[in-house]
Amino acid sequence: MFELEKELKELFDIYEKSPYELYLVGGCVRNRLMGITPKDYDLTSNALVNESKELLLKRHFRVLETGIKHGTITALKNHQSYEITTFRIEKGHIKHRKPKELVFSARLTDDLKRRDFSMNAIAYSPTKGIIDPFKGRSAIENQTIECVGGARLRFFEDALRILRALRFSATLGFKIAASTKRAVFACKDLLKHLSKERLQSELNKLLMGKNAYEVAKEYQEILELVIQEKIENLGFLKNAPLNLELRLLGFFKHQKSLENLRYPKKTCVLFSKAKECHKSFLNIHNKTELKFLLKNYDLEPFNLALDFYALENPKHALKIKRLLKEIFDSNEPFKKEHLALKGGALQSLGYQHQKIGEILNACLDLVIENPKNNALEWLIEWVKGHYLPNDAINLSPIRQKN
């Protein structure tokens, strides 16, 4: 039924000629049934890890012991890798996330019934075909996300499944079944037991989903619990490009909320600068005003803020982009490094190091207002007329024109 790559065929051939079973399982089977090429393949077997390892080494597969205590090894060949996990039963769970005990099983059904959603509880082998005891194919055909067994029990075992349900709904465009939806809201407080990193990871995937707006609107209460702030603007998600930083900029209000979810420092700083810059666009009407704004921000937060502003005020954003193009096409200065006058030249003229930044900043203001002033001789003469060497006493207002 499925077209399998050479290495996968070889894996199945190895197990077919042994006393053991081997199946593709989980997301890769779901994706295949949806016509999507899987990014990776998970397999499950009734062979214990040492038994699988022995089989594979005989056929020149490399084997990594990636999760022996969980019954998992990784088989590698020709730069392809495949995780193979022994059928297992999970007993009890710690902090609504990790199983207290794993019991290896000889039955495929035991392994499938511990999984989160019916669409992910389907197995496949070339000889036995599709194994679907929990009607996962029907769920896929009906574009429905439904827990295997009781939804509340599934969420109690692993609270991350609550966000996974929302994430799959956003990325696949499937609806969450009524019984599972009720359990999502009933069990929402379990989310507080999860690590911030896990919450962040699922939230990112959700926000990048094609149905992010619809899911965020329907489950706003859940997402507010995750980010610990009130969500005031969801409409931007309707037309927002698939850029995570931009979607975070619209979704969150405060940098602190990103920090609480353990977003990288770089992401938090970019968010903060872009939020700040975004507030200034309404006051930009000409190139000079735009250059003074560019002076204060790096291009990365500036461009991010402008892309978001374009979702709110496309006409004015287009005008700003035209002004920006004119500035770049004309090589008009807006940063200190664009000045014809450099710090070294000021030092050679006897100006103190601690004042050079102030002087260059004053020069930059001049050339932003009039790019023709960005000439070395003119700037030197202006500095000599406004600052004394050595103590660099300011003799007149910095923005005073000649």
Residues 6+ apart with CB under 8 A from 389: 349, 350, 351
DSSP 289-353: HHHHHHHHS-HHHHHHHHHHHHHH-HHHHHHHHHHHHHHHHTT---SGGG-SS-HHHHHHTT--H
Are 118 and 77 contacting, i.e. CB atoms less than 8 angstroms apart? no
Strand partners, 124: 24, 130
Mean pLDDT of the chain: 93
Do residue 277 and residue 367 come from a single domain?
no
Do residue 147 and residue 204 come from a single domain?
yes
Asked whether residue 369 is domain-assigned, the answer is yes
In the predicted model, is pLDDT for residue 190 greater than 50?
A: yes
Do residue 302 and residue 322 come from a single domain?
yes
pLDDT tens digits along 308-357: 999 999 999 999 999 999 999 999 999 999 999 999 999 999 998 888 99
Identify the pLDDT of residue 48.
Answer: 96
Do residue 119 and residue 175 come from a single domain?
no
In the predicted model, what is the mean pLDDT of residues 62-78? 92
Do residue 148 and residue 119 come from a single domain?
no
Do residue 183 and residue 278 come from a single domain?
no
- The Cα–Cα gap between 221 and 244 comes to 21
pLDDT tens digits along 167-186: 999 999 999 999 999 999 99
Do residue 6 and residue 101 come from a single domain?
yes
Identify the pLDDT of residue 1.
Answer: 62
What percent of the chain stands above pLDDT 70? 96
In the predicted model, is pLDDT for residue 252 greater than 50?
A: yes
What percent of the chain stands above pLDDT 90? 87
- The Cα–Cα gap between 201 and 203 comes to 5
Domain boundary at 314, 330, 346, which? 330
Per the structure, the complete domain to which residue 366 belongs is given by 336-385
Asked whether residue 310 is domain-assigned, the answer is yes
In the predicted model, what is the mean pLDDT of residues 140-150? 97
Number of domains in the chain: 4
Identify the pLDDT of residue 357.
Answer: 93
In the predicted model, is pLDDT for residue 90 greater than 70?
A: yes
In the predicted model, is pLDDT for residue 286 greater than 60?
A: yes
Do residue 24 and residue 151 come from a single domain?
no
Do residue 106 and residue 5 come from a single domain?
yes
Do residue 85 and residue 52 come from a single domain?
yes
Asked whether residue 250 is domain-assigned, the answer is no
CATH (domain of 233): 1.10.3090.10
In the predicted model, what is the mean pLDDT of residues 197-208? 98
CATH (domain of 121): 3.30.460.10
Do residue 16 and residue 119 come from a single domain?
yes
Asked whether residue 252 is domain-assigned, the answer is no
Local confidence band at 98 (pLDDT 50, 70, 90 cut-offs): confident
* Angle at the Cα of 252 from the Cα atoms of 250 and 258, rounded to 5 degrees: 130
Local confidence band at 132 (pLDDT 50, 70, 90 cut-offs): very high
From residue 18, alpha-carbon distances to 21, 54, 264 in Å are 8, 11, 48
In the predicted model, is pLDDT for residue 398 greater than 50?
A: no
Do residue 275 and residue 347 come from a single domain?
no
Cβ neighbourhood burial of 202 (10 Å; 0-12, 13-18, 19+) = buried
pTM: 0.89
- The Cα–Cα gap between 89 and 150 comes to 16
Identify the pLDDT of residue 386.
Answer: 92
